[in-house]
Amino acid sequence: MRKKNKINSSCIVILIFYNILWAILIPFIFILTVARLIIGKEDPKRLKNKFALNLPNSQPNKSNIIIHAVSGGESLTALELAKSILKINDSLQVTITTHTKSGYEMAIKKNKKL
């Protein structure tokens, strides 16, 4: 019994640390995002996507898999992964999100070719 309680208390401490760290980092993430908007590295229309605030609703009777890609190369790999997943099980819904403007543009360009 003691070991189980020790594990639970360790998880609680880690979760508290994680939440404190996020509370500290959020203002810096906001400032960085605004700076990237000013220099043209971010698309203002995609800010909700960037923070996963407008993910599509799942279709009825479909499980949704979300793949997040950070860079342009990762977005191309995510497209290939999604394509492979759908070949195995086409009853799934796959959503790909990207972090950068260039990753988004590369994914859109490549997706039109598929």
Distance between CA atoms of 80 and 36, rounded to whole angstroms? 28
Q: Check: pTM over 0.75? Answer yes or no.
A: no
Q: 112 is written with which tokens?
A: 């039109």
Residues 61-89: pLDDT tens digits? 678 888 888 888 898 999 999 999 999 99
DSSP assignment of 79-111 equals: HHHHHHHHHH-TTSEEEEEESSHHHHHHHHHHH
CA atoms within 13 A on the CB side of 62: 16
- Active site (catalytic) residues: 74
Distance between CA atoms of 107 and 77, rounded to whole angstroms? 9
pLDDT in single tens digits along all 114 residues of the chain: 455 556 677 888 888 999 999 999 989 988 998 898 899 888 888 777 777 677 666 666 678 888 888 888 898 999 999 999 999 998 888 888 887 888 888 888 887 754
Q: What is the pLDDT of residue 64?
A: 83
Domain ranges (residues) in the chain: 1-42, 43-114
Q: What is the pLDDT of residue 88?
A: 93
User: Residues 87, 79: contact at Cβ < 8 Å?
Assistant: no
